Amino acid sequence: MSNKILLLEDDILLGESLVDLLEESDFEVLHVTNGQSALDATFEGKFDIYIFDINVPLIDGITLLKELREADDETPTIFLTSHKEKGMLEKGFLSGGDDYITKPFDTDELLLRINALIKRIKKHKNKCINALCHDEIHQSFLYKGKELDLSKKEYELLLLLTLHVNNTVPKDLIIEELWTRSKSSSDGAVRVYINRLKQLLPELEIQNIRGVGYKLVS
């Protein structure tokens, strides 16, 4: 199945040439020329990547992406812009942009950047167990799209369980990984953290393997 791209570019000739380039590279592309049309398109369909020009009519690309991110739309996004100022670059990334390419650009470079984002998408998709996803870059977990508020030990314990999903993690290994030699622990302390994870993940099954350890079941 082809990856779908939403292209926001108000320069008709450039937009058409990019559509030709991307379709020749086996992408499915929807080209729109203003920010409002792009916003409408995100409600009507799902895309794998956004490519947004910044200076476009009705809603500029940065404002558009900021609104999408506030609505929990995490679709990877590349900005196309003629701006070279550092401030504009910072605004693009602060609004939730993943990459940035300045006009005029080499089309091969654009394809390389798109394919790099696609590889990252696939990598992160492989780190999900049902509704639980691990964000390796930010060292956090998301459950049903929302970031979990975890302490350091809760994060480390959940990571250990996910790395050994469907296999029992011995209590000795949990204690060894979560506590330093200078700080002792107990089965009771481990149970406290396990119970906390069960409360946070009500639809995931964490089994107590009596006398041995714990298992996260997918």
Q: Does the reported pTM lie above 0.85?
A: no
pLDDT at 162 > cutoff 60: yes
Q: What percent of the chain has pLDDT over 90?
A: 43
pLDDT of residue 83: 64
Q: In this structure, which long-range contacts are made by residues 88-92, counting pairs with CB atoms below 8 Å and at least 24 apart in sequence?
A: 88/54, 91/62, 92/54, 92/62
Token reading at 182 = 């200078």
- ∠ CA 206-209-214, nearest 5°, is 45
pLDDT of residue 98: 85
pLDDT at 217 > cutoff 50: yes
pLDDT at 157 > cutoff 50: yes
**CA nearest neighbour of 18 among 105, 88, 83:** 105
What are the chain's domains? 4-125 (3.40.50.2300), 129-217 (1.10.10.10)
**CA nearest neighbour of 17 among 84, 141, 105:** 105
pLDDT at 82 > cutoff 80: no
- Out of 54-63, 83-92, 132-141, 179-188, pick the least confident: 179-188
Contacts of 164 (CB under 8 A, 6+ apart): 215, 216
Average pLDDT, the chain: 86
Average pLDDT over residues 114-129: 73
Question: SS3 of 79, please?
Answer: strand
Condensed to tens digits (0 to 9), the pLDDT of residues 2-47 reads 789 999 999 999 999 999 999 999 999 999 999 999 999 999 988 9
- Out of 17-21, 157-161, 176-180, 183-187, pick the least confident: 183-187
